[in-house]
Amino acid sequence: MLQAKEDMLVIAAQQGNEQAFSFLCRHYQTSLSRFAYKLCGDHQMVQDALQNAWVKMANKLRLLQDPRAFKSWIFRSVRWSVYDLMRKSKREETLIEQDEIEAIEAPQSQDNEHSENLLELIDELPDIDKQAIYLFYLEEMTVSQIASVLQIPAGTVKSRLNRSRKTLQKLAGE
């Protein structure tokens, strides 16, 4: 989506336009689902986290001063929502069976064998590096947007991306 169009939708949603907010929800739902799944690996927790994040976003959208920050704001909200649910899950000592986990993946074309291998290699990275790589390449976020989502300095994002690229090159060479 073009940035200007997104900005206009955010402004309209801030003014109470439910259609604009609904459009933003539909537009980001798949990306946010994939991101949340990469964080927790649990389909039900993803759904709960997204619902919590969208409800919180609906209630606080008027507080957003810069419409351009919407994307990083919603991704950060989903990230914290997932982490909150994971902490709650640990406290309740809920066991999650791996058989029930369903991966949320984008539709794959026939020539995606290389992409599948790359995704498998990315999954071998440490979580902190995996998040940066995922947001940069798969969600096409800028370094500053990633820094906002992960709440770290831009230099740290650059370091993680660099370290991840080198690790992926090593893994691919083996």
For the ranges 49-53, 59-63, 98-102, 155-159, the lowest mean pLDDT is seen at 98-102
Q: Which domains does the chain have, with CATH numbers?
A: 1-95 (1.10.1740.10), 112-174 (1.10.10.10)
Q: Who wins on pLDDT, 128 or 78?
A: 78
Average pLDDT, integer, range 91-97: 46
Per residue in 98-139, pLDDT (tens digit) is: 334 333 344 444 445 556 677 777 888 888 888 888 888 888
Report which secondary-structure segment, H or E, holds 122. Answer: helix 113-123
Question: Are 172 and 68 contacting, i.e. CB atoms less than 8 angstroms apart?
Answer: no
Structural tokens at position 64: 């957003």
Asked if residue 167 has pLDDT above 70, the reply is: yes
d(CA 14, CA 30): 22
Longest Cα–Cα distance in the chain: 54
Asked if residue 143 has pLDDT above 60, the reply is: yes
Q: Name the average pLDDT for the chain.
A: 80
Question: Are 135 and 149 contacting, i.e. CB atoms less than 8 angstroms apart?
Answer: yes
Whole-number Cα distances in Å, 138 to 31, 44, 133:
9, 22, 8
